[in-house]
Amino acid sequence: GRRHSTGGSGGASVLGKGKGCHYTVLGVARSATAKDIRQAYRKLALKFHPDKNSEAGAADKFKEVTEAYEIIGDESARRKYDSDVRLGRFC
């Protein structure tokens, strides 16, 4: 199951889970284009994929990167996330 951060909105299942801002996780600016986000995700996914990286914590980092991309890589989910960020729920 997914863990939720304390004090989260109680809303969508993945929005409050991450250890940091989804933009920070992917290393992109909030103004990043969809292409920038996709490129950052692909780079990090290759770096931390469990089949490519056996270091401790790599699998957790891969999950974190994937969850961040699932939100900000999807246009409608990104709009909701950005709205929640503006309301101070995340980041």
91 falls in which pLDDT band (50, 70, 90)? confident
Q: For 26-38, what is each residue's pLDDT tens digit?
A: 999 999 999 999 9
How many beta carbons lie within 10 A of that of residue 12, not counting itself? Answer: 15
Q: Are 26 and 41 in contact (CB under 8 A)?
A: yes
Q: Is the pLDDT of residue 10 over 60?
A: no
Q: How far, in Å, CA of 38 to CA of 32, rounded?
A: 10
Residue with tokens 């950052």, as numbered in its chain: 40
User: Quick count: other Cβ atoms within 10 Å of Cβ 1?
Assistant: 4
**Structural domains of the chain, with CATH:** 33-85 (1.10.287.110)
Between CA 69 and CA 72 the distance in angstroms is 5
Residue pLDDT, tens place only, 39-66: 999 999 999 999 999 999 999 999 999 9
* Banded pLDDT at 86 (limits 50, 70, 90): confident
